[in-house]
């Protein structure tokens, strides 16, 4: 696949784009900009882009029924209604927000949100992984620094999870070269789930790198041959 098949969406670049998901009911893409403290929505059919600004960093989100979202921010887990901007606190942060925040997270096939944290001082490894189910937030694993890379197998029996600072890389070569150095998270979208969307980062990157990679921070998209799986909705 050639590099010219990759297209940057006509939306402002994110400082650290994360947690993209394709909403099957809306046929729209959602993602977070963590340092930009914003949630983004893009409709490929109309080209319409909308953003919501917050006073706390949004790290990840999952769709809820009736058009709402389950949003993990530094200051806790929230139910968010994009239509009127209403926020309702579901769970307080299980950590000191001065040194830690929520990071990558996704809903599993049962509708439970799994969300990890990042311990910003990096050492000691105090970050952890949590599960939100039926209004209860439980710590499921700990002893890491940066929780990342959550994904689930098609049968729902296997969860994939990584610690960014463990310096272990699992690489699978699919012949796709991106025009940026820091991709952050992929998701599949489009009516046929054959459009691959990839959020990227530009926050704290060197000036010469950003000059050479003008699409850093943008959401990239490309068509692929094999469709992906639809997003899992969260349940409260």
Average pLDDT, the chain: 91
- The answer on pLDDT for 188 being more than 90 is yes
Domains and CATH numbers, the chain: 3-223 (2.120.10.30)
- The answer on pLDDT for 2 being more than 50 is no
What is the average per-residue pLDDT within 115-134? 94
Radius of gyration for the chain, computed over Cα atoms and rounded to the nearest angstrom: 17
Neighbouring CB atoms inside 10 A of 166's CB total: 12
The answer to whether 69 touches 194, Cβ cutoff 8 Å, is no
Strand order in the sheet with 183-189: 7-8, 220-223, 195-200, 183-189
- Residues 135-158 as b or e (16 or more Cβ within 10 Å = b): eebeeeeeebbbbbebebeeeeee
CA distance 3 to 177: 6
- The answer on pLDDT for 170 being more than 60 is no
Structure confidence at residue 162 (pLDDT)? 84
> Which H/E stretch holds residue 209?
helix 207-212
What are the respective helix, strand and coil percentages of the chain, to the nearest 5? Answer: 5, 45, 45
Q: Which of 84-88, 134-138, 152-156 has the lowest mean pLDDT?
A: 152-156
What is the average per-residue pLDDT within 50-70? 97
202-228, pLDDT tens digit by residue?
Answer: 999 999 999 999 999 999 999 988 899
13-47, pLDDT tens digit by residue?
Answer: 999 999 999 999 999 999 999 999 999 999 999 99
3-state SS, residue 5: helix
Structure confidence at residue 169 (pLDDT)? 33
For 152, the token pair is: 């689930």
């Amino acid at each position: 696949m050639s590099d010219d098949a990759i297209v940057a969406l006509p939306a402002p670049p994110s400082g650290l784009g994360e947690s993209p998901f394709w909403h099957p009911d809306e046929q729209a893409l959602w993602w977070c900009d963590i340092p930009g403290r914003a949630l983004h929505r893009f409709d490929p059919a109309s080209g319409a882009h909308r953003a919501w600004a917050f006073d706390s960093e949004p790290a990840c989100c999952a769709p809820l029924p009736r058009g709402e979202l389950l949003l993990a921010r530094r200051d806790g887990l929230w139910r968010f209604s994009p239509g009127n901007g209403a926020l309702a606190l579901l769970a307080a942060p299980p950590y000191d927000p001065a040194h830690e925040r929520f990071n990558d997270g996704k809903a599993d096939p049962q509708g439970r949100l799994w969300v990890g944290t990042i311990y910003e001082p990096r050492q000691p490894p105090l970050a952890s992984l949590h599960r939100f189910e039926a209004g209860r937030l439980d710590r499921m694993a700990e002893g890491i620094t940066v929780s990342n890379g959550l994904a689930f197998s098609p049968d729902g029996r296997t969860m994939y999870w990584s610690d960014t600072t463990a310096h272990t890389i699992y690489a699978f070569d699919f012949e796709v070269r991106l025009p940026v150095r820091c991709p952050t998270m992929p998701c599949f979208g489009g009516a046929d789930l054959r459009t691959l969307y990839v959020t990227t980062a530009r926050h704290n990157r060197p000036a010469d790198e950003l000059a050479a990679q003008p699409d850093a921070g943008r959401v990239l998209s490309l068509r692929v041959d094999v469709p992906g799986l639809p997003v899992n909705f969260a349940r409260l």
